[in-house]
Amino acid sequence: MKMGRVLVLLGVSALVAILSPLDAAIVQNSQTVTTSQKLEDTDEKRVSIEFGAGRLTIRPIDKGLLYRLKLRYNKDYFEPVTDLSGNRLHLGVERIRKGFRGIFNWNSSGGGNEFDLELTREVPMDLHINFGAGSAELDLGGLALTGLEFNTGASGSRIKVSEPNREQISKAQFNIGAADFQLEQLGSLNAEDIEINAGVGSLELSLDGSWQRDAVISIDMGIGSLELHVPEDLGFQLRKNSFLTSLNGMRNLVKEGNVYYSLNWDEAERNVTVDLDGALGSVTVRLIR
- Contacts with other proteins by CB under 8 A lie at 1, 3-5, 7-8, 28-38, 40, 62-65, 70, 75, 82, 109-110, 154, 156, 178, 180, 200-202, 223-225, 244, 246, 280-282
What count of other Cβ atoms lies within 10 Å of the Cβ of residue 241?
12
* Residue among 110 and 257 whose Cβ is closer to other proteins: 110
* Residue among 37 and 264 whose Cβ is closer to other proteins: 37
Minimum Å gap between C-beta 37 and other proteins is 5
Minimum Å gap between C-beta 39 and other proteins is 8
Minimum Å gap between C-beta 19 and other proteins is 16
DSSP string across the chain: -HHHHHHHHHHHHHHHHHHHHHHHHHHHTEEEEEEEEE------EEEEEEEEEEEEEEEEE-TTEEEEEEEEEETTTEEEEEEEETTEEEEEEEE-S--STTTT---TTS---EEEEEEESSSEEEEEEEEEEEEEEEE-TT-EEEEEEEEEEEEEEEEE--S--SS-EEEEEEEEEEEEEEEE-GGGG-EEEEEEEEEEEEEEEE--S---S-EEEEEEEEEEEEEEEEETTSEEEEEE--SSEEEES-TTEEEETTEEEETTTTT-SSEEEEEEEEEEEEEEEEEE-
* Residue among 20 and 35 whose Cβ is closer to other proteins: 35
Minimum Å gap between C-beta 111 and other proteins is 8
* Residue among 158 and 270 whose Cβ is closer to other proteins: 158
Minimum Å gap between C-beta 62 and other proteins is 6
What count of other Cβ atoms lies within 10 Å of the Cβ of residue 234?
21
* Residue among 27 and 287 whose Cβ is closer to other proteins: 27
* Residue among 244 and 254 whose Cβ is closer to other proteins: 244
Minimum Å gap between C-beta 108 and other proteins is 11
